[in-house]
Structure 1
């Protein structure tokens, strides 16, 4: 699968420059996540009225739900400068220190994939988050020493798809913690219609419903599908995306009526080879050529929520809808040798 640009992907694809244009520029224009949006607006308003920077914010949840967009909206609502980076980029303490000392009061530092920071870098943030102070390393070797430096009070916004990988001391330093959830069909249809206007293409309600139904509850996927369907319409010389164009385009993309793509079906096929024996996540990763984290974060959540896959203490097995889709007769509950299953 390496090198293949998938529609169901763990991160924004580099070539998708239009994605930035599709991002809402205010909380009022943000569709979905009503509890999270309302909470953030409340905390922001309180911070502004108190004349203090916003508490540190941790945004968690599956990829593609709007964590990066919300970070931008937080900074814009605060009228603050946004400094962006990601966990994998912050390899050394010196990388982070150089960034922290340049922050001004009220700046928002957004760290995407915050769970991928090294433990030493994560721990270095403790004093910065709590006391607005860090020890800057000076020189190396026998001449190594540190200089205590005061920082301007800033707001750290961390985004992660794997909150469980964060240490408790680090997680507890975020005064505001919000989890994003997958979107409802109606919310995705609204997002598709809005995005179609931004892209300058018309779309029928039935076509918007088809796109939303195959987007796995994720706006990023909905927008990717929409962009490809726009291209199908352009190639056909059509001014609008109707249900016929949408259905044909989705077939071209290999997205079936259940919202499954090639790798989803590959996972189900692997499980079907021994439908009553759990398969370990590492075995699935080797068989599909994917990383364990990608399967766990990107593919499994949808397959589990929709009942295609179940997790046991020993591995993954087909779920009720997986058996039905593949035409395999499931064992009776009393015959399940694996015991209690958990989601």
Structure 2
């Protein structure tokens, strides 16, 4: 059977009694992640701040979930209130893009007129992380789409772009600059004090450290797709995350049938939807949202467009449940 490095390591670990650590299950809840985050913020706020959050929520109306994401991003209440005040004044296309950048029905991932393609062959991981960041933080999405910041609040990733002092006048320039900033962030000190060569893309073990989404922690895990039984726990965790509004970064690779140089993780995509018998996947090389069936995640499936025309799943980045 053709093998990948990650599936081989996972199987060897199982044989010697060292199972792959994956996030534990979290108690089921019917309340979405971001709504819970908003309610926690209200409960912990002063009376004045709690009132301000309530007013902002009412201003957003049916788009209140965008405000919940803004609160979960860790932005100050002044910025959250400014977002609510500015919301109705945004251009409808911009409002749609900021309101739900990734996890909405679409065949191509684009914001206004710009397709969400990776900058070059080394930035698939950075593009995936950037899209996920925009989904989790409306202030980053607002800056990418419109160039605006609110109430003197600048998200840290946007601040990193500004520190480079490159021209970012257009949406495309801001999107590319965000990718470059995250690429630099994930490749710096990737091997202890030694930087990871940027030409090799994004090291899998750095994505979990640098993913900022709703204040959650993330953990990378090996994927063993050699059998449905081995793969089932990964798919279950991914579905649980998607059900809570959390996209899931997934690395893909080839296997030994395609050559020894393809057995390591080679590309990164983002699971953005659960179809019941598969997933919807943002593939940054094509800027498309593509279907990926559970049944196709097997050793003999061949090249899959949803995996960037690689054939195997090899590494997944999953949220770690909060401790109560």
Higher relative contact order (CA 8 A, sep 6+): 2
> Shorter-normalised TM-score: what interval?
under 0.3
TM-score, length-scaled by structure 2: 0.27
Tell me the TM-score normalised to structure 1 length. 0.26
